[in-house]
């Protein structure tokens, strides 16, 4: 009886930088019965390389969330030599219009898009006016916002905190810690937009959208700075319904992923 052959180990690794409009997709991660960014990318990559690939992204974005700088790696055994420029062009040709590989680079076989990442930056876009063209990429808040109050609250986010009050418990990974080290957090004005920028080592599920929604509550003067500080303490705050304040996915972008 012939001995079963072992699956050959991959001998090539590529690092991809990807942008996408997540409005039509059920998030980044592959799902059996849903269309996802990762699923579309896998089909295009395997069709281009004529090989099965190991595909891993730096971060999992929720349904409807966008990316300007998602990073992923693909590992595979090449059947024929292809230049990275040709691989990028072929994958893009096969991808839907909403997904684009901005750059393909060779990487060491040990490179891991998620484990090697040391930081991620998200940007949330709030619009202060109705927009005819960018509704899918902003959250239009109709009421006037106290920008100074939002900035004051945002200054308390940087540092090491327990974000349990901003974590979606129903989607949390088993034994996932809610402790996050935030490198920076700020509120920036840009024309008719208010941008919430936040960079951290990692993020717990729905943390950015819930922080944004809570900052908007501060801006609307529905809650006080004291209320925001209580939520940031990580202690239970049953009277403050953060889950109901979760900002829509449309305004959230994974801006970039940082590596050492």
* pLDDT tens for each residue of 74-116: 999 988 888 999 999 999 999 999 999 999 999 999 999 999 9
8 Å CB contact between 249 and 63: yes
62 is an active site residue? yes
**What does the pLDDT read at residue 169?**
78
Catalytic option among 62, 162, 227, 241: 62
Closest to 106 in 3D by CA, of 85, 92, 128, 131: 85
Full set of structural domains in the chain with CATH: 12-107 (3.30.70.580), 118-259 (3.30.70.660)
- Looking only at the bridges linking them, the beta strands covering 66-76 and 12-20 are antiparallel
**What does the pLDDT read at residue 2?**
43
What separation in angstroms does the CA of 135 have from each of 18, 64, 139, 209?
A: 22, 12, 7, 17
| Token digits of residue 192 | 């008719």
> Residue 171 gets which letter from DSSP?
G
Instruction: Convert the pLDDT of each residue in 4-20 to its tens digit.
Output: 444 556 689 999 999 99
Q: Is 4 helix (H, G, I), strand (E, B) or coil?
A: coil
8 Å CB contact between 256 and 19: no
**What does the pLDDT read at residue 75?**
97
pLDDT tens over the chain, length 260 residues: 444 444 556 689 999 999 999 999 999 999 999 999 999 999 999 999 999 999 999 999 999 999 999 999 999 998 888 899 999 999 999 999 999 999 999 999 999 999 999 999 999 999 999 999 999 999 999 999 999 999 999 999 999 999 999 999 765 566 788 999 999 999 999 999 999 999 999 999 999 999 999 999 999 999 999 999 999 999 999 999 999 999 999 999 999 999 98
């Amino acid at each position: 009886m012939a001995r079963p052959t072992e699956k050959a180990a991959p001998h090539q690794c590529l690092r991809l930088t990807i942008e996408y409009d997540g409005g039509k997709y059920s998030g980044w991660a592959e799902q059996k019965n849903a269309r996802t960014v990762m699923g579309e990318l896998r089909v295009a990559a395997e069709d281009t390389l004529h090989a099965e690939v190991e595909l891993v992204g730096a971060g999992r974005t929720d349904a409807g969330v966008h990316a300007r700088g998602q990073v992923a790696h693909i590992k595979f055994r090449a059947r024929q030599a292809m230049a990275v420029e040709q691989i990028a062009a072929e994958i893009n040709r096969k991808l839907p219009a909403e997904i684009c590989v901005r750059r393909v680079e060779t990487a060491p076989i040990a490179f891991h898009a998620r484990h090697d990442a040391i930081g991620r930056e998200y940007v949330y876009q709030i619009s202060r006016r109705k927009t005819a063209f960018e509704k899918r990429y902003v959250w239009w808040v109709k009421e006037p916002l106290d920008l100074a109050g939002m900035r004051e609250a945002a200054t308390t986010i940087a540092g090491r905190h327990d974000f349990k009050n901003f974590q979606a418990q129903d989607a949390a990974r088993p034994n996932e810690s809610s402790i996050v080290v935030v490198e920076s957090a700020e509120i920036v004005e840009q024309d008719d937009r208010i941008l919430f920028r936040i960079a951290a080592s990692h993020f717990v599920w729905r943390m950015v959208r819930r922080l944004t929604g809570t900052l908007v509550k501060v801006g609307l003067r529905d809650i006080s700075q004291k209320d925001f500080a209580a939520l940031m303490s990580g202690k239970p705050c049953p009277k403050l319904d953060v889950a109901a304040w979760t900002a829509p996915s449309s305004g959230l972008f994974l801006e970039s992923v940082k590596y050492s």
